Amino acid sequence: MSSVVTAEAVVRSALGSDAGHLLIDGEWVPAAAGSTFDVIDPGTEEVVGRVAEAGTADVDSAVAAARRAFDEERWLRLSSAQRGVVLWRVADLLEAKSEEMARLESLDVGMPVSQAKLMVAEAVNQFRYYAGWADKIQGTTVEIGTAERRLQGATYREPVGVVAMIVPWNAPLIAMSMKLAPALAAGCTCVLKPSEEAPLSALALGRILLEAGVPAGVVNIVTGFGATGAALAEHPGVDKISFTGSTEVGRKVVAAATGNLKKVSLELGGKSPVIVLPDADLGAAAAGIAIGVFWNSGQICTSGTRLFAHADIYDELVEGIAEQGRAMKVGYGTDPDALLGPLISQRQLDRVAGYVEGGRAAGARVVSGGKRLDGRGFYYAPTVVADATPDMRIVREEIFGPVIAAMSFTDLDSAIASANDTEYGLAGSVWTRDIALAHRVARRLRGGRIGVNIHRAGGVQMPVGGFKQSGWGRENGPDALEEYLETKSVVMLLDR
């Protein structure tokens, strides 16, 4: 059986006849203009389905449906405990459909099915965690006033209202869950816009939400291109927008949100530093750093793409990371031996290759990889570039591919200063056996999440977000709930 037939079967199994429709007010409907667009399998470059292309009229309908659902309290009329039960049911359904969802996510993005299963498991964790928070959103009380005129003050925590959510293509199921789960726990209604590059898992999640008992209109899904997202960002009926994507687009979202001063939270780009001290366990560091930059073919905003290695261990570590990359099999998502899949598109492949060639032309040395792999699909080899300098574009700009640029240092203060010399501040890591020193370095790095002897770790309990131009606000943990809540003060006269 060809990969195309298998892919079509995956889409048909997960979505039935809903693939070419939008989810608006609990119904699967075609785009008002009848427009659709192709979904491409990045591992084969072949069309595996068509989805609806939402226009302005569809965005208006979705926002109106979310507003009606909020105003009519279709979700809020349930007790907080009942809303938690529904969210837990979403998690159960996701878990029951994990194999199907993993294959769909793999097809959508290109990642190996084995890694897509981890994505599904984390999405399950998101809904279970916030199911537990749904009945624990609390205000405070305080006595105020004078002895002669006693007052009772109270704060209520209330949902912000209608939330527009725009998610990227690199890990869509997790990105959607990180927004939907806390927003629903807070009592909001939502309009979700997935990336045009990977829209399938959003539609499958929409089916699960309805099956779990999320009322009509509480979650609406519009598929489309940048114009669809722009219409959401500027829509006067939206109270808040939560965006994950590039810093460049994030700035546009902020500008669009000024029309009605809607609240904004952003998780944006990164250029995360990795600092390795001479006492580090080099074998463990090489393996951990390779996973931290090459996993999901480098298409993760927290990837550790700038390596600062002490001169005493620089050559050995660089070669160790390169060797790790060479050993990683790059292949189609259903290949059980594949550790890395393709990049998402030809455009992304050209972008990554252009950065590597630019670094080579600027004087950097390509130690491993540095080329597109033969055959169909958008595959690029894991790449280590040595002898980079801080002024190179390959060091300063987000590549979003399996590429790490290495630099050496002798003075730790200078390395930390170089690590912080970026417009980004999303993540980072430090590698050393000296835990006290590791904590001191972690405190000095300007990033939202710092690993010690590990680059990318955490989970739904740990807040993530950016410093500087890597974003506003936090996702995960109790902090994420705050992004979807308003505080209302109520003062009551007790004595007449």
Are 415 and 394 spatial neighbours (Cβ–Cβ below 8 Å)?
A: no
Q: What is the dihedral of CA 222, 15, 330, 400, to 10 degrees?
A: 10
Gap between the Cα atoms of 26 and 215, Å rounded: 7
CA–CA dist 58, 321 (Å, integer): 48
Q: Which CATH topology does 272-460 take? A: Aldehyde Dehydrogenase; Chain A, domain 2 (3.40.309)
- Lookup: tokens for 59: 């965005």
Known catalytic residues?
Answer: 267
In this structure, whether the domain defined by 3-268+471-488 belongs to CATH 3.40.605.10 is answered with yes
Q: Which two tokens stand for residue 162?
A: 């209608």
Rg (CA), the chain: 24
- The continuous run of DSSP H or E covering 13 comes out as helix 3-15
Residues of the chain with CATH 3.40.605.10: 3-268+471-488
Closest CA to 165 of 80, 253, 296: 253
As a whole number of angstroms, the distance between CA 229 and CA 207 comes to 21
pTM, two decimals, is 0.95
Query: At which residue do the structure tokens 């069309």 appear?
Result: 47
Render each residue's pLDDT in the chain as its tens digit; 496 residues: 244 447 778 888 888 877 899 999 999 999 999 999 999 999 999 999 999 999 999 999 999 999 999 999 999 999 999 999 999 999 999 999 999 999 999 999 999 999 999 999 999 999 999 999 999 999 999 999 888 888 999 999 999 999 999 999 999 999 999 999 999 999 999 999 999 999 999 999 999 999 999 999 999 999 999 999 999 999 999 999 999 999 999 999 999 999 999 999 999 999 999 999 999 999 999 999 999 999 999 999 999 999 999 999 999 999 999 999 999 999 999 999 999 999 999 999 999 999 999 999 999 999 999 999 999 999 999 999 999 999 999 999 999 999 999 999 999 999 999 999 999 999 999 999 999 999 999 999 999 999 999 998 889 999 999 999 999 999 999 999 999 999 999 999 987 6
Q: 304 and 294 in contact (C-beta within 8 Å)?
A: no
Q: How many CA atoms lie within 13 A of 377 on its CB side?
A: 25
- For 456, the 3-state DSSP assignment is coil
- C-beta of residue 471 within 8 angstroms of C-beta of residue 250: yes
